[in-house]
């Protein structure tokens, strides 16, 4: 009987899976597309149905349906397995609880906490007023249940006592941010969330990874919202609230609605705008926007109309524009956030979104409303508007907005163009930094994922009485590629060893091609290692040439030639 991974691959063609995320174009027996992992105008991303693999000639992204979903959705292997199994209609056979990886056990801990909070909200009469409060804010019972909203009672240890009864340890509860160690004590803990309405935060596959708790009753000194700390499961700079349910709608409608809070997102989704997402306790980041951009290149920001909301929109827009996205802002009446507006005017939310204007026009209108004197206005336009125009990709768009500033302020166009040139230089530097960060992160992420897979195979094979692979031979090649003793490389992955073994067992246990697939992983790892070294040497060469250091430049040029030669001699995979 084939493994669950092979069953999924047999049922799902790679062109169908990838075609549901990106637009494919048939070319002979293969398909091509614009790569979702880096910005490009000409398609260099190719899909081979025969081999069930993809490869990008631009950034080097490669893999199968599982690696694509992991990278695109921002989930781990088990998350991609869950997403693809549901799509293939295959019920995952749960592993023996004793063999469950640490990571999966942490997910189970958060799931149990979610159920506990939900039961508090629905089964206890004394918490009825919490439900009434949520309904007064506009949420229906169906929405409350769909989004698994719950309540943490105002008790120091009620949750942790419940979880201990479910056989979760203090260490596990600490690792997912549910309890806090009492100051001055080694073994005394208390619940992090108390007296709060609990909003579970989800990963792209719908698993709970953390919480945002809104205070229900408390004094003014208490934080209105308390979020889970960063954990091995929850990275707030990558998580968008509601994204797991909004993905399809964002792709279909070709734009995302970005709001600031949980209630804003819930009310917008409840009103039928399923392409709405929210940030979770942090400012919008490059990672957030990259996740949206893989589905659509347009965003409408619906932030609070106060000065803080305008600044937040400006910061977020700068990042989005540097990624080549189209950015609009939906203007709300003063004193109303999206949740309140939808509650009071449910039939007018569509009109607000339809009336959204480009971030440049929004920023200009905001400054004009301040009625500044001429010199102050010129200074603010330089600081707040021109940097946006500088990020635009073509001259016609820039010309349109320069004319708009001229028309609305009376400032001469030639003067605006002169100041814009200075802003363009700064924008170019900012754009290059963002691109370098993205490219380095893509290469590091792919290289690290391959290294993890090989480490998992080695850990797994070492446990077998009759290993399929020559473990010592693989270790030798692994060490040669990474440039460090294999013991050091494996030590880095020791903490997630159980998870890696579980992944290897699920992915390779029934595979007849373990030797070939391990060889392919080693070749890919060597290729990515050489590319990373080549990029570093090339950057050093450029710097040496700027400093006119001829000896260093000669040395680095030889290094580039050597690495290029080694890359050209790598085995060509079938």
The domain that holds 358 is classified in CATH as 3.40.1360.10
Structure tokens at 500: 């890696």
Q: How far is CA 294 from CA 21, 194, 373, 422, in A?
A: 8, 38, 43, 31
The whole domain housing 504 covers 431-568
pLDDT at 44 over 70: yes
Reported as a single tens digit per residue, the pLDDT across 345-358 is: 999 999 999 999 99
Alpha-carbon distance 388 to 397, whole Å? 11
pLDDT at 427 over 70: no
Q: What is the pTM of this model?
A: 0.74
- Number of domains forming the structure of the chain: 4
Is 288 part of any domain?
Answer: yes
Same domain, 445 and 521: yes
Reported as a single tens digit per residue, the pLDDT across 223-247 is: 889 999 999 899 888 899 999 999 9
Over residues 530-550, mean pLDDT? 86
Same domain, 110 and 71: no
Q: Lowest-pLDDT range, 52-61, 310-319, 416-425, 430-439?
A: 430-439
Last residue in a domain, options 406, 429, 452: 429
Is 449 part of any domain?
Answer: yes
Return phi, psi of residue 189, to 5°.
-130, 160
Reported as a single tens digit per residue, the pLDDT across 136-157 is: 999 999 999 999 999 999 999 9
Alpha-carbon distance 255 to 326, whole Å? 9
Same domain, 408 and 347: yes
Is 235 part of any domain?
Answer: no
pLDDT of residue 52: 85
Alpha-carbon distance 443 to 67, whole Å? 14
| pLDDT level of residue 100 (50, 70, 90 thresholds) | low
- The percentage of the chain sitting over the pLDDT mark of 90, rounded to a whole number, equals 44
Last residue in a domain, options 56, 88, 120: 88
Last residue in a domain, options 377, 401, 429: 429
Reported as a single tens digit per residue, the pLDDT across 258-300 is: 998 899 999 999 999 999 999 877 788 888 988 898 888 999 9
Are 420 and 398 in contact by the 8 Å Cβ rule? The answer is: yes
Same domain, 474 and 532: yes
pLDDT of residue 148: 97
Of 332, 215, 357, 312, the residue nearest 267 (C-alpha): 332
Is 232 part of any domain?
Answer: no
User: Which DSSP state fits 101?
Assistant: -
pLDDT of residue 513: 78
Of 433, 447, 446, 324, the residue nearest 39 (C-alpha): 324
Of 349, 370, 55, 85, the residue nearest 205 (C-alpha): 85
Alpha-carbon distance 44 to 34, whole Å? 6
Same domain, 453 and 531: yes
Over residues 182-203, mean pLDDT? 91
Alpha-carbon distance 239 to 289, whole Å? 10
For 481, the 3-state DSSP assignment is: helix
Same domain, 411 and 513: no
Do the strands 276-279 and 189-191 form a parallel or antiparallel pair, or are they unpaired? unpaired
Are 333 and 290 in contact by the 8 Å Cβ rule? The answer is: no
Are 75 and 107 in contact by the 8 Å Cβ rule? The answer is: no
CB atoms within 10 A of CB 572: 5
Reported as a single tens digit per residue, the pLDDT across 471-480 is: 999 999 999 9
Same domain, 421 and 299: yes
Is 573 part of any domain?
Answer: no
């Amino acid at each position: 009987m084939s493994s669950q991974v092979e069953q999924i691959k047999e049922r799902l063609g790679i062109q169908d899976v990838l075609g549901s995320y990106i637009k494919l174009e048939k070319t002979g027996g293969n398909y091509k597309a614009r790569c979702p992992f880096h910005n490009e105008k000409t398609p260099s991303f190719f899909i081979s149905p025969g081999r069930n693999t993809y490869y990008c000639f631009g950034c080097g992204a490669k893999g199968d349906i599982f690696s694509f979903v992991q990278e695109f959705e921002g989930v781990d292997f088990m998350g991609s397995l869950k997403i693809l199994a549901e799509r293939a209609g295959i019920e995952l056979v749960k592993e023996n609880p004793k063999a469950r990886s640490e990571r999966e056990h942490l997910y189970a801990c958060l799931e149990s906490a979610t159920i506990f909070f939900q039961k508090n909200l629905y089964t206890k009469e004394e918490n009825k007023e919490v439900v009434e409060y949520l309904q007064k804010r506009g949420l229906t019972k169906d929405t409350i249940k769909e989004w698994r909203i719950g309540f943490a009672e105002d008790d120091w240890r009620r949750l942790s006592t419940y979880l201990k009864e479910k056989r979760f340890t203090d260490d596990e509860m600490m690792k997912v941010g549910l309890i806090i160690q009492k100051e001055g004590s080694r073994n005394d803990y208390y619940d992090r969330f108390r007296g709060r309405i609990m909003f579970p935060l989800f990963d792209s596959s719908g698993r709970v990874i953390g919480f945002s708790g809104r205070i229900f009753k408390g004094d003014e000194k208490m934080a209105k919202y308390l979020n889970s700390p960063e954990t091995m499961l929850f990275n707030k700079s990558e998580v968008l609230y509601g994204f797991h349910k909004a993905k399809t709608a964002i792709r279909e409608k070709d734009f995302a609605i970005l709001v600031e809070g949980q209630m804003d997102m819930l009310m917008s989704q409840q009103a039928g705008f399923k392409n709405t997402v929210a940030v979770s306790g942090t400012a919008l980041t490059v990672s957030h926007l990259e996740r949206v951009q893989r589905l659509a290149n347009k965003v409408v920001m619906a932030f609070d109309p106060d000065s803080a909301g305008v600044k937040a929109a400006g910061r977020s827009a700068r990042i989005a524009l540097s990624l080549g996205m189209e950015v609009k802002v939906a203007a709300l009446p003063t004193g109303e956030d999206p949740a309140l507006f939808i509650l009071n005017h449910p039939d007018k939310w569509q009109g607000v979104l339809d009336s959204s204007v480009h971030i440049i026009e929004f920023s200009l209108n905001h400054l004009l409303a301040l009625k500044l004197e001429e010199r102050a206005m010129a200074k603010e336009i330089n600081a707040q508007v021109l940097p946006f125009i500088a990020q635009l990709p073509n001259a016609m768009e820039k010309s349109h907005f320069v004319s708009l500033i001229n028309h609305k302020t009376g400032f001469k166009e030639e003067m605006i163009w002169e100041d814009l040139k200075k802003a363009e230089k700064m924008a170019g530097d900012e754009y290059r930094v963002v691109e370098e960060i993205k490219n380095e992160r893509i290469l590091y992420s792919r290289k690290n994922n391959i290294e993890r897979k090989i480490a998992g195979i080695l850990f797994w094979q070492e446990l077998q009485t009759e290993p399929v692979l020559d473990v010592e031979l693989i270790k030798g090649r692994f060490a040669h590629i990474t440039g460090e003793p294999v013991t050091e490389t494996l030590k880095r992955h020791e903490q997630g060893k159980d998870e890696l073994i579980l992944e290897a067992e699920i992915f390779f246990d029934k595979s007849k091609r373990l030797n070939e697939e391990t060889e392919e992983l080693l070749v890919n790892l060597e290729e990515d290692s050489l590319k990373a070294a080549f990029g570093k040497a090339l950057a050093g060469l450029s710097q040496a040439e700027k400093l006119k250091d001829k000896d260093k430049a000669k040395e680095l040029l030889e290094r580039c030639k050597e690495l290029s030669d080694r890359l050209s001699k790598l085995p060509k995979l079938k």
